[in-house]
């Protein structure tokens, strides 16, 4: 029987209570009636083998012990294996009564056609897999695909949500993201994209009504970081309008995810979002629109976890490693609720979660990052 329930105000508050006295003030943030940790665990990278499956399950369980209650995955991560590792971690945690289902915020994504456990062999194998798994059973038509691999039709999303629930052995997903919807913009017009997005949101509202998901959003790579004129640009204000059309004032479009790290600070610094006739940053627009922002790639896949200049480390509290400094930057950014860090290694979990005991950088110190070195 699948694990019942979902993250709740009461459950996440109970989780937070366990860290009173050890976690720093503001390690947990109250958003969308939930207490979310400022560091969450991502599950994107790594091989498609049993050793990595076990390593992720162990890392997620260890992170939960150390103060991280946000899990992020996607159907296609490691060919569905990461979702299954999330399921295994939740089984271990709840089985040992180390955590309860209502304490953990489980987030996954759909959009990319996922393979199953391993990739098929060659282009012929891929086509045969897509045909057998999705086309012949009537879940998609080849014409629904953007860039040969991305789909967000209502029928497909419904199928993917059911599959993610099975993979994680859950009754309910807390946050369901459309994965990189900007992929569609490379092939369809803006008007067609909006129609597809509205239809997707309508489906996600139905999934909410039926208790399979609690909230939804978009997890992007380029969409929120581009200039408004760019073809792949996502205007958040328009997206929330579409969600309102789909679900009324109490719609469930409450989360967005985008990369944010020392080398990709656009969400804070680029005024690319139309909002009430002005242009503001994504973080400002999200705040005004009641949308919670989650940062992905907090370490730029490890690349910003080294060689951080001294003045940046100093402003962020002279922490014991560059990885910690990079994560501290993200979790200290006003408007970012959770910094996702991909961690399949227990040692990385233990290093990064030392930050749960450290307060995010104070506003004045954080502002010093944006003055010239030595100024
Ligand atoms: N478009 C999207 O929706 C999107 C795109 C990218 C990412 N995401 C989400 O965001 C999460 C985070 O991004 P990411 O995993 O791509 O990249 P990341 O968090 O920037 O970096 C993860 C990499 O850093 C390593 N690492 C972790 N802690 C470290 C430490 N203390 N010292 C040195 N290396 C360390 C990890 O190694 P180990 O695994 O060996 O521990 C892994 O190789 C993803 O897992 C995913 O959930 C979403």
Convert the pLDDT of each residue in 140-176 to its tens digit.
999 999 999 999 999 999 999 999 999 999 999 999 9
The predicted pLDDT at position 370 comes to 84
Q: Whose CA is nearest to atom 45 of ligand 1?
A: 42
Q: For the residues 97-105, what does the mean pLDDT come to?
A: 98
pLDDT for residue 373 is more than 70: no
Q: Is the pTM of this model over 0.95?
A: yes
Q: Is 366 part of any domain?
A: no
Average pLDDT, the chain: 97
Q: Pick from 114, 297, 308 the residue to mutate for probing ligand 1's pocket: most ligand atoms within 8 Å of its CB.
A: 297
The predicted pLDDT at position 162 comes to 98
Count of Cβ atoms closer than 10 Å to residue 190 Cβ? 12
pLDDT for residue 120 is more than 70: yes
For the chain, what is the domain count?
1
Strand partners, 218: 178, 256
CATH number of domain containing 323: 3.20.20.100
List Cβ neighbours of 30 (8 Å cut-off, separation of 6 or more).
36
What's the CA-to-centroid distance between 257 and ligand 1, angstroms?
14
Helix (H) or strand (E) holding 41: strand 39-42
Q: Is 347 part of any domain?
A: no
Expressed as residue numbers, the domain containing 290 is 9-20+29-342
Q: Is 306 part of any domain?
A: yes
The predicted pLDDT at position 102 comes to 98
Q: For the residues 358-364, what does the mean pLDDT come to?
A: 95
The predicted pLDDT at position 371 comes to 76
Q: Is 350 part of any domain?
A: no
Q: Is 258 part of any domain?
A: yes
Q: Is 362 part of any domain?
A: no
- pLDDT tier for residue 375 given thresholds of 50, 70 and 90: very low
- pLDDT tier for residue 103 given thresholds of 50, 70 and 90: very high
Atom of ligand 1 nearest to the CA of 299: 20
The predicted pLDDT at position 164 comes to 99
Q: Is 373 part of any domain?
A: no
Question: For residue 252, what are its two tokens?
Answer: 């469930």
What is the rounded distance in angstroms from the CA atom of residue 155 to the CA atom of residue 177?
16
- DSSP annotation of 150: B
Q: Is 348 part of any domain?
A: no
Contact assessment for residue 81 and residue 48, using Cβ atoms and an 8 Å cutoff: yes
Convert the pLDDT of each residue in 322-333 to its tens digit.
999 999 999 999
The predicted pLDDT at position 374 comes to 47
Atom of ligand 1 nearest to the CA of 179: 3
């Amino acid at each position: 029987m699948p694990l019942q329930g979902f993250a709740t105000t009461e459950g996440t508050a109970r989780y937070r209570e366990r860290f009173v006295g050890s976690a720093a003030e503001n390690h947990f943030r109250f958003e969308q009636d939930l207490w979310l940790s400022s560091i969450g665990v991502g599950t994107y990278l790594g091989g498609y083998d049993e050793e990595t499956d076990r390593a992720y399950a162990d890392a997620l369980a260890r992170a939960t012990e150390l103060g991280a209650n946000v899990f992020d995955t996607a159907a296609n991560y490691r060919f569905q294996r990461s979702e299954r590792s999330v399921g295994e971690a939740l089984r271990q945690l709840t089985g040992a009564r180390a955590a309860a289902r209502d304490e953990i915020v489980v987030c996954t994504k759909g959009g990319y056609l996922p393979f199953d456990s391993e990739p098929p062999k060659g282009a012929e194998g891929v086509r045969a897999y897509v045909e057998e798994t999705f086309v012949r059973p009537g879940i998609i038509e080849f014409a629904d695909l953007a860039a040969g691999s991305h789909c967000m039709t209502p029928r497909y999303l419904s199928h993917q949500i059911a599959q993610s629930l099975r993979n994680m052995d859950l009754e309910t997903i807390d946050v369901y993201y459309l994965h990189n919807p900007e992929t569609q913009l490379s092939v369809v017009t803006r008007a067609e994209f909006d129609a597809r997005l509205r239809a997707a949101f309508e489906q996600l509202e139905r999934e909410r009504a039926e208790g399979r998901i609690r909230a939804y959003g978009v997890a992007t790579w380029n969409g929120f970081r581009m200039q408004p004129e760019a073809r792949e640009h996502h205007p958040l204000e328009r997206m929330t309008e579409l969600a309102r059309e789909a679900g009324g004032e109490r719609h469930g479009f409450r989360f967005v995810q985008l990369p944010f790290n020392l080398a990709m600070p656009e969400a804070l610094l680029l005024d690319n979002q139309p909002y009430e006739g002005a242009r503001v940053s994504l973080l400002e627009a999200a705040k005004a629109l009641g949308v919670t922002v989650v940062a992905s790639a907090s370490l730029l896949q490890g690349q910003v976890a080294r060689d951080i200049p001294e003045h940046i480390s100093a402003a962020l509290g002279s922490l014991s490693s560059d990885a910690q400094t990079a994560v501290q930057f993200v979790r200290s950014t006003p408007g970012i609720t959770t910094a996702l860090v991909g961690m399949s290694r227990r040692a990385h979990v233990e290093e990064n979660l030392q930050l749960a005991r450290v307060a995010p950088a104070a506003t004045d110190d954080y502002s010093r990052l944006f003055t010239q070195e030595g100024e």
